[in-house]
Chains A and B, each alone.
Chain A
């Protein structure tokens, strides 16, 4: 009887949740690397899952296997009446632009890129600010004064991570040396953990003892190599501290989950706005991760230094240079 009662209550609650918001049929199109890359795309997945849990709204999603599928996937979703459609990743821009014009009634959201159309919402992050914070931590945790960075595909967005990180490192220790490597120049660079591991090893050979990655699935190999060599890795996008507890110094959080959740929520609540949204430290869009897996690695000095930098950046008194503003890094 009790069981029956709880299920009735659950059903009513579920119904109420759906009824409160307008009916939406959201869809997500992930970038190469896939839903479970433990990084960027997984953040989007977590956001969509959380929304499903909170409201009971089902969503559809698609993991592309190659570039030509982007357009097909979006068009398919739009044709079936999915709304809003959230496209994850800068590479979706050209496909989204095309499909958004064909379906002017459908709401589109793109993460990490700007598409200027009346039915498109663009969400970008200030990754340089989050990278700056983990750069401070890296410089303070390093014993050799040498730290590394492994990027995925060599594009301005990843240079932005690298540049913010380098600025943070120099902010904390002006004598520190930063090695940087890019995995490749094609989409395959997001999914090559073996190469990522080799790049990290080459940086360890040169004396680095902390390595930050912004490389999606490739980064799994970077963190693995750091754990194997007894060095420290820094995760990106999602909280990756738990991948190798004690060997991941911290993770630069990019709240893709929040962006996806908010896009769904706004569409359901009818206050969805097209245009550009920029999420930085002040807006809680980027941050660094502290949990039980890395609390032993972070000293009070490090906490204080990061907290101060965070405050200064949020208030505007400390400015982190954005690589994408002039395609150059002062470091």
Chain B
């Protein structure tokens, strides 16, 4: 029974740690499926996290903070889009430039506004996303097996966690069941054909990067106003890149990417809990080994288990109309 309890709590932590990855990975999918490499996820997350924390601090409302985060990341996406789509610049360079820019700019603006070394002031309860208790959770709490699963695992998360998990089927539906999705995928595979059909490739790609901006903005806001309570310089700690890896794992498809994110989240949560635990026959697990585990597994999985990941054919290539 105790093992069951530990398992439920572990999965509960998995949901918390994988939420920002899921949102960012979906953002990457939208952008890359349309043919624009999006290495800027890390920087955009930082920008979103900073805007959310700052605006939530001033207004005392996390929703306005979330909107500010989304507005910021849409702005950054449009800059990235302008460089990559309109100016046909190198997409990798543009993405990295945004990452470096945002790492410094958020700290700079933070120092100018709050004079706390680039941090934002800690948010009080009202200006953060609070855990939601699902209906009936308290009532079924003591029911064996199902009670803890419902109470601990499904209930008691903040709204962004639920949004992230609903965003996955929503993204799938948009991509595979709507005209917009069909065109978006086509523009990443064969932009020439889309152009022949009389649809603007450039406009399609811009719409895709804007979708990407909306999703990654939520992921940033989650870090600073839901999971944490303030912005700190470089607080994303590589989550944007891990989301990119999850996207490649998932072969640029929403559901497989979800599972990759959950796997990374699970490893992260497990690493936290394995530290200092004495395993029978092995003794205490060294901290370093536990912390290297996610990366070791990533290498192993990438090397052998996921098979070939085929990126969209036109990925990374700006579309030039023949003249």
Q: State the A residues within 8 Å of B (CB).
A: 34-37, 63, 154, 179-182, 184-185, 188, 191-195, 197-199, 201-202, 205, 217, 220-221, 224, 243
Contact = CB atoms under 8 A, between A and B. Distances in A.
Nearest to A221: B228
B118 interface: yes
Contact of A198 (B16, B118, B119, B276): B16
Contacts of A220: 122, 230, 232
A179 B276 CA distance: 8
Given A185-B288, A202-B273, A191 B13 contact: no
A185 B118 CA distance: 23
A181 B117 contact: no
Given A182-B275, A198-B272, A205 B9 contact: yes
Nearest to A198: B272
A71 B129 CA distance: 42
B292 to A, nearest CB: 9
B229 A224 contact: yes
A-B complex: 6 closest residue pairs judged by Cβ atoms: A34-B117, A36-B117, A36-B116, A205-B9, A224-B229, A181-B275
Interface stretch (B60-68, B184-192, B233-241, B252-260): B233-241
Interface residues of B, number: 30
Contacts of B116: 36
B223 A194 contact: yes
Contact of A193 (B13, B232, B273): B232
A36 B122 CA distance: 13
Interface of B: 6, 9, 13, 16-17, 115-119, 122, 223, 227-230, 232-235, 237, 268-269, 272-273, 275-276, 287-288, 291
A37 B117 CA distance: 8
Contact of B13 (A185, A201, A243): A201
A202 B14 CA distance: 11
B232 A185 contact: no
A198 B233 CA distance: 18
Contact of A188 (B119, B237, B276): B237
B234 A191 contact: yes
Contact of A185 (B227, B272, B273, B291): B291
Given A194-B237, A202-B13, A202-B273, 19 more contacts: A34-B117, A34-B118, A34-B119, A35-B117, A154-B288, A182-B287, A185-B291, A188-B234, A188-B237, A191-B234, A191-B235, A192-B237, A193-B228, A198-B13, A198-B16, A198-B17, A198-B268, A198-B269, A243-B122
Contacts, number: 73
A154 B287 contact: yes
A195 B268 CA distance: 9
B18 to A, nearest CB: 12
8 contacts: A34-B118, A63-B117, A181-B272, A191-B232, A193-B228, A194-B223, A198-B17, A224-B229
Nearest to B239: A194
A326 to B, nearest CB: 18
B288 A193 contact: no
A179 B277 CA distance: 9
Contacts of A202: 9, 13, 269, 272-273
A34 B119 CA distance: 10
Contacts of B291: 184-185
A64 to B, nearest CB: 12
Most buried by B among A191, A202, A221: A202
Contacts of B273: 202
B287 A194 contact: no
Nearest to A181: B275
Nearest to B269: A198
A35 B107 CA distance: 13
A180 B233 CA distance: 26
Contacts of A198: 13, 16-17, 268-269, 272
A202 B273 CA distance: 6
Contacts of A199: 272, 275
B237 A195 contact: yes
B272 A193 contact: no
A55 to B, nearest CB: 23
A154 B16 CA distance: 25
A193 B17 CA distance: 13
Given A36-B119, A37-B117, A185 B287 contact: yes
B6, B115, B229, B275: which has the most chain A beta carbons within 10 Å?
A: B229
A165 to B, nearest CB: 14
A181 B276 contact: yes
B119 to A, nearest CB: 6
B120 to A, nearest CB: 11
Contact of B228 (A154, A185, A205, A224): A224
Contacts of B268: 198
A193 B230 CA distance: 9
Nearest to B237: A192
Nearest to B292: A185
A329 B38 CA distance: 48
Most A CB contacts (10 A, CB to CB) among B6, B228, B269, B276 go to B228
A236 to B, nearest CB: 17
A237 to B, nearest CB: 15
B218 to A, nearest CB: 16
Contacts of A180: 276
B118 to A, nearest CB: 7
